[in-house]
């Protein structure tokens, strides 16, 4: 299964490593993904069933966690070591004005200096570290053709009363799919909020779509145009998030879940793909799904991402009422 096929699914740690939890007759083997779950949930390995050749399988561990309703142990992320203080005289001799390039070196290259990081950005980084430590992450990817969606945005086939963007179309596809897709460990309804981060005139903007599943595509487009940036801490508390890189020229990003989040859908910028045989060109975006493997099974994640892909590739269904299964148009 290739990473850049029509639909790909990546599951980390398929190679198993031996574990040193006993001697030859009582030893159990498992890979890094299982080890991560065992350590996070403080599970005694002798309580877990074994699969072929004595290996402990990730699926069995996740089933044990669901059956026992276990919660991850609280882990604290280590802080980076503090830098030794420098004398004020040395700082005056080497520091460049903040936000400006420094002097040139012997090759004529300009030296740049790191700008100080805001407290908000530091807190967001710590939240990401906590999420990575506490939540068993899993990932899925899909390449999605957006030619039909771009035709919809441009108004070539359907004249829209308001101007839409490709980001509007894909976000609507995500919220509509989340409304109708059943995921056992995650509840989404018309009262569910979705945090959104997207590029707007070269800058990363953000907003929170309140009751996102009940919003039509015109409502989403309006809210994104009127949006004001939301603090990163508030975004991290919303359980569902969409990140759009459209307009950034970055084709893919894989997001990290914060401790309160269940899934994040990342949208890469549209790229041109040329078929090797027919030489026909089309535009695609890469959809990346980061999800909590303790709550969402691999099969549910694949179905969820595949449904988003289908909605984006047939965007006419995105224009209908509050669900893509509805027959009433906006």
Burial of residue 219 (number of CB atoms within 10 Å: 0-12, 13-18, 19+): middle
pLDDT for 291 = 93
pLDDT at 320 over 80: no
For the entire predicted model, the pTM comes to: 0.62
pLDDT at 309 over 90: yes
- Mean pLDDT value across the chain: 76
Distance of CA 118 to the CA centre of its chain: 23
pLDDT for 307 = 92
pLDDT for 265 = 95
Distance of CA 87 to the CA centre of its chain: 43
**Bigger pLDDT: 78 vs 156:** 156
pLDDT at 23 over 50: no
**What DSSP designation does 186 have?**
B
pLDDT for 120 = 79
Tokens 């159990």 belong to residue: 28
> Cα separation of 156 and 128, whole Å?
42
> Cα separation of 13 and 32, whole Å?
6
> Quick check: 290 and 266 in contact, CB under 8 A?
yes
pLDDT at 14 over 70: no
Tokens of 213: 């599943």
Domain architecture of the chain: domains with CATH: 13-68 (no CATH), 137-319 (3.30.559.10)
Query: Exposure string (b/e) for 8-23, b if CB count within 10 Å is 16 or more?
Result: bbeeeeeebeebebee
Residues 6+ apart with CB under 8 A from 186: 239, 262, 263, 292, 295, 296
Residues 6+ apart with CB under 8 A from 6: 142, 143
Average pLDDT score over residue span 307-324 = 73
DSSP conformation letters of 108-163: SPBP--PPPPPHHHHHHHHHHHHHHHHS-EEEEEEEEE-HHHHHHHHTSSS--SS-
Pick the range with the lowest mean pLDDT from 79-93, 100-114, 228-242: 79-93
> Cα separation of 183 and 27, whole Å?
35
At 236 the three-state DSSP class reads helix
Tokens of 112: 């740049």
pLDDT at 57 over 80: yes
Q: Encode pLDDT of 171-186 as tens digits.
A: 999 998 888 877 766 7
pLDDT for 15 = 33
């Amino acid at each position: 299964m290739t990473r850049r096929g029509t639909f790909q699914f990546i599951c980390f740690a398929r190679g198993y490593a031996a574990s040193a939890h006993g001697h030859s007759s009582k030893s159990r083997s498992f890979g890094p993904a299982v080890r991560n779950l065992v350590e996070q949930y403080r599970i005694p390995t002798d309580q877990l069933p074994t699969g072929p050749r004595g290996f402990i399988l990730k699926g069995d561990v996740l089933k044990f966690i669901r059956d026992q309703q276990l919660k991850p142990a609280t882990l604290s992320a280590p802080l980076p070591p503090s830098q030794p203080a420098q004398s004020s005289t040395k700082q005056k001799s080497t520091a460049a004005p903040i936000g400006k390039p420094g002097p040139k070196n012997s090759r004529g290259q300009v030296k740049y200096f790191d700008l100080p990081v805001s407290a908000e950005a530091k807190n967001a980084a710590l939240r990401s570290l906590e999420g990575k430590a506490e939540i068993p992450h899993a990932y899925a990817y899909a390449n999605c053709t957006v030619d039909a969606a771009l035709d919809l945005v441009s108004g070539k086939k359907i004249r829209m009363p308001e101007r839409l963007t490709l980001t509007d179309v894909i976000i609507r596809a995500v919220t509509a799919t989340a409304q109708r897709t059943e995921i056992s460990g995650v509840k989404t309804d018309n009262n569910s909020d979705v945090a959104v981060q997207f590029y707007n005139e070269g800058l990363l903007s953000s907003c929170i779509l309140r009751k996102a599943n009940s919003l039509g595509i015109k409502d989403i487009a309006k809210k994104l145009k009127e949006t004001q940036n939301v603090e990163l801490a508030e975004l991290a508390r919303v359980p569902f998030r969409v990140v759009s890189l459209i307009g950034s020229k970055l084709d893919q990003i894989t997001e990290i879940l914060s401790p309160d989040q269940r899934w994040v859908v990342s949208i890469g910028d549209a790229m041109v793909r040329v078929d090797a045989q027919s030489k026909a060109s089309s535009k695609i975006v890469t959809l990346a799904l980061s999800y909590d493997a303790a709550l969402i099974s691999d099969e549910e994640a694949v179905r969820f991402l595949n449904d988003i892909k289908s909605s984006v590739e047939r965007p006419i269904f995105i224009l209908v009422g509050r669900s893509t299964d509805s027959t009433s148009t906006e």
